[in-house]
Amino acid sequence: MADKTLLRSQKNEVFRLLDDAGIDLRRFTWNQIYSPDNASRLVSRLEYPDSFFFLFDRGGDNSYYGGFSPAEYERAVGVTAGTWPKLLDAVQRWAVCLKRELEEPDLWATISEEKKLAEGASEGNDNSPLSPNEQQRLAQNIDEIKEFLAHTFALNQEQAKLVNDRFRYLTEASARMGRKDWINLSLSVLMTIIIGLAMPPEASRELLRFAGQVFGWLISGQLFLPE
């Protein structure tokens, strides 16, 4: 069997490229697999959750080739590089695509969660005014969510202004809206923040979960809790 796996020095070059791209390196896994083109050749494959990968393969003439996912406009593409430096150029392109997909918010999934939450809110018919004590408690809850965002994300000045402005509006609305209307408004505000901060899917779900913990008392703890 021909061992065509990468050297430690080559893996370190890949490490530096991905590190420079700002990707969390702790989630990568190196695997040794049989080449898809030749079962007698052992090659290296760098894998990331969600079926993302980069395959480092070698031809019979020892030329470098492989494939990666995600790509610019496709789920996966093949690469015929020839030399190691050219294959590293492909790794750099892959890093850009991977970072894009990891940071891109899943707006359709977020809309789906928001729809479930809105449906939960509409199940009750109680749209009575919020009492002064309830308004005060909601203001405290909103401060908790703002603190959660501040500790979870490195907000720039523009993002911090978006968060503060939307939550200030939500706090003020509790004095003039019924509880059901306020719940629906809070969903809209959370969606605006998720989209405005370009939050990735898992971060969006974490925000909704945390909102569920602090707002759940308003509706018996059954809303704001994505599965």
The answer on pLDDT for 76 being more than 70 is yes
Q: Residue 26 domain-assigned?
A: yes
Proportion of the chain above pLDDT 90, given as a percent = 56
Indicate the range of 140-144, 161-165, 203-207 predicted with least confidence.
Answer: 203-207
pLDDT of residue 207: 87
Q: Output the pTM of the full model.
A: 0.59
Using 50, 70 and 90 to split pLDDT, how confident is the model at 183? Answer: confident
Indicate if 37 and 91 belong to the same structural domain: yes
- Domain of residue 133: give its range: 107-219
The answer on pLDDT for 226 being more than 70 is no
Q: Residue 121 domain-assigned?
A: yes
Q: Residue 146 domain-assigned?
A: yes
Q: Where are the beta strands (DSSP E) in the chain?
A: 2-3, 29-35, 38-48, 52-58, 64-69, 77-82
Indicate if 142 and 186 belong to the same structural domain: yes
d(CA 222, CA 215): 10
Q: Residue 224 domain-assigned?
A: no
d(CA 113, CA 173): 23
Q: Residue 226 domain-assigned?
A: no
Indicate if 85 and 6 belong to the same structural domain: yes
Q: How many domains does the chain have?
A: 2
Indicate the range of 13-27, 96-110, 121-135 predicted with least confidence.
Answer: 121-135
Proportion of the chain above pLDDT 70, given as a percent = 89
Indicate if 54 and 81 belong to the same structural domain: yes
* Chosen domain end from 103, 135, 156: 103
Indicate if 49 and 92 belong to the same structural domain: yes
Indicate if 92 and 194 belong to the same structural domain: no
